[in-house]
Structure 1
């Protein structure tokens, strides 16, 4: 099953047939919201609102571990993240799509792993992840290719087919939030190689990889970042642009779901091989 995590401005997928709504508890707490099982292009899709109904969770308090674990429990093996970002690279314009290819973690205090050694949560189950947690194993995953290449390829093909303005690669710099960044911080991120900046892309990507799930991120550039922008940044402009892109995003998601092959041809499912100490 494919999981969709909707970010700021994308709190539901209207038009998709709702099969059921699931409330689920996890060993890592409650997810941001109940999960909608939808029918999209004849396939079941699990949709989760990252910030919760009514946008009640700020970026630094999103229950990331609970969200990813809940999707895993429902049988999700691939996650598509939808996010709003600020543009740093000069070639990025508001409204452009970016298919993320790498990340820079600039967060400060987030729980970013399931594997905490002797302090790991003891969970039920016979799968490898559950056994590693029960045994208190320390795990170091490789993130040389953190974003699923198969999903990224399908996303780029879909955006090309729909004739939308997009960038096939981009480095996502994740900051702690909830405040926006300073111009000096943006200049530093640019030197580090960041193309876009957001507050929620990490730790979702690594948590998914820790569970051997595929993860891809499609971002909408909503505004130039601080210092790049010539005006004061507001949350309102982010939500307004995402609202204008909502129908377009639904088409992208539907076409992506239809186009993604059932068979996983990537190596994401092997992320735990050789990773445990």
Structure 2
């Protein structure tokens, strides 16, 4: 057993966790750069918690410039065991309406301007992201949201686009034809990096609007989207508040193997590994290196 630490990466509109005891913001140094912001830590119902605003307080990072590697590395260094992403998204399905939440369980990665791995020349590794989220953690989020009275859907494919512009009509229709359910700009490479760091990862999409495919999309006012975003943030905090009771203080090995993702992934022979890269991997891959 290890001690649970639930880490929440908050997207647009979510900048804190309510009710934290011994709450303090702390800077965490990472060899992968400076994280998006200081990390808020504390305890909630006896469980260690950490909160990182993905875009930084005041929303200073675009989806492309978010320091994804530094963020995941910093959370791992703090002792995070379970990472929950909450982010604003558009919907490709009529029944996934604004104000609803979706437990994402798969991704299509269309980003192209981001560093996507901790590994590379000098230490090559290939982890599986066939199932990129942790079902155990996703189920806990689903239960917490239902208990909070939130309309939440279990299962959905998230199209990760580069941004910062939103989709064209043709792109939106194409992604719908591909079978995508929601669209956002930030869960990739975040989910891939969490897997490389052997962290359980769950993604909760908070629907703010229908993407441009919807016939009524043009009639939606930005004020309506902001109002939905604000309401979603309140719901998101209510969901998070219920997670410690569901996940508990003690953490057993993940039944899905998320915390053992590097077991057979590192390909480079020990005598060929780059010491400089290995030193940067001390938190992410220290268990194996």
| 1:113 matches 2:117 | yes
| 1:220 matches 2:206 | yes
Q: Which residue of 7, 12, 19 corresponds with 2:11?
A: 7
Find the counterpart in structure 2 of residue 58 from structure 1: 62
- The superposition leaves residues 235-263 of structure 1 with CA deviations (integer Å, 9 ceiling, x where unpaired) of 65444312123332222101122201432
Find the counterpart in structure 2 of residue 255 from structure 1: 242
For the 8 Å contact 1:84–1:238, the answer to whether it is kept is: no
For the 8 Å contact 1:98–1:168, the answer to whether it is kept is: yes
The offset of 1:273, in angstroms, is 1.9
Q: Which residue of 25, 31, 45 corresponds with 1:27?
A: 31
Name the SS for the 2:230 alignment partner: helix
Find the counterpart in structure 2 of residue 143 from structure 1: 129
For the 8 Å contact 1:86–1:222, the answer to whether it is kept is: yes
Q: Which residue of 237, 243, 267 corresponds with 2:257?
A: 267
The offset of 1:18, in angstroms, is 4.1
Name the SS for the 1:86 alignment partner: strand
Find the counterpart in structure 2 of residue 243 from structure 1: 230
* Residues in 2 aligned to 1:202 and 1:235: alpha-carbon distance in whole angstroms: 25
- The superposition leaves residues 193-244 of structure 1 with CA deviations (integer Å, 9 ceiling, x where unpaired) of 2100000010110000001110001111100001214316776544431212
Find the counterpart in structure 1 of residue 155 from structure 2: 169
* Residues in 1 aligned to 2:150 and 2:13: alpha-carbon distance in whole angstroms: 19
Q: 1:214 to 1:35 in 2, by over 3 A?
A: same
| 1:74 matches 2:78 | yes
Unmatched 5+ stretches in structure 2:
268-289
Q: Which residue of 64, 89, 93 corresponds with 1:85?
A: 89
| 1:276 matches 2:280 | no
Compute the RMSD of aligned alpha carbons.
Answer: 1.6
Matches within 5 A, 1:150-229: 150-228=136-214, 229=216
* Residues in 2 aligned to 1:138 and 1:33: alpha-carbon distance in whole angstroms: 29
Query: Runs ≥4 in structure 1, deviation > 3 angstroms?
Result: 232-239
Q: 1:17 to 1:144 in 2, by over 3 A?
A: same
For the 8 Å contact 2:88–2:208, the answer to whether it is kept is: yes
